[in-house]
């Protein structure tokens, strides 16, 4: 990976999709390992944007989150992870996309 690239830190279950998209992916199983990966990316100056799955981001130690907020690069962006629940439907997915796009929940009929 060269300087200026996007890196994704995600759970092993989500990593394949990002890898297929050609993104540098680092599968991690918990917040401690994700924090170590962020330290490596910073020390090697290989990524200017790091996307991290929300579940891993929530598990990061607070001192790591504070350090990331003080740094200009890499920009760390928490992203939602996949929802594997059986109750999820296409309708719910579309409603959620619309909610994010326009800022409030709509009812589809």
Handedness of CA 55, 61, 64, 68 (dihedral sign): positive
- Split the chain (109 residues) into runs of 10 and give each run's mean pLDDT: 75 86 92 94 87 93 90 87 62 71 69
The single residue listed with the structure tokens 């109750």 is 87
Q: Which CATH architecture has domain 5-83?
A: 3-Layer(aba) Sandwich (3.40)
pLDDT of 47: 86
Helices (H), the chain: 12-20, 31-44, 54-59, 62-70, 90-102
Residue ranges of domains in the chain: 5-83
In the numeric block, which tokens belong to residue 102? 């326009």
Instruction: Give the residue from 39, 78, 84, 82 showing the smallest Cα distance to 59.
Output: 78
pLDDT of 93: 65
In the numeric block, which tokens belong to residue 37? 């990966």
pLDDT of 4: 62
């Amino acid at each position: 990976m060269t300087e200026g690239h996007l890196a994704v830190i995600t759970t092993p279950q989500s990593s394949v999709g990002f890898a297929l998209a050609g993104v540098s992916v680092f599968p991690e199983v918990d917040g401690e390992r994700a924090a170590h990966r962020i330290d490596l990316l910073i020390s090697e100056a290989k990524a200017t944007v790091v996307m991290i799955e929300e579940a891993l981001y929530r598990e990061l130690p607070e001192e790591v989150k504070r350090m990331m907020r003080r740094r200009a690069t890499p920009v760390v962006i928490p992203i939602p992870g996949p929802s594997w629940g059986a109750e999820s439907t296409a309708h719910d997915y579309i409603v959620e996309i619309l909610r994010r796009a326009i800022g409030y929940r709509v009812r589809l009929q």
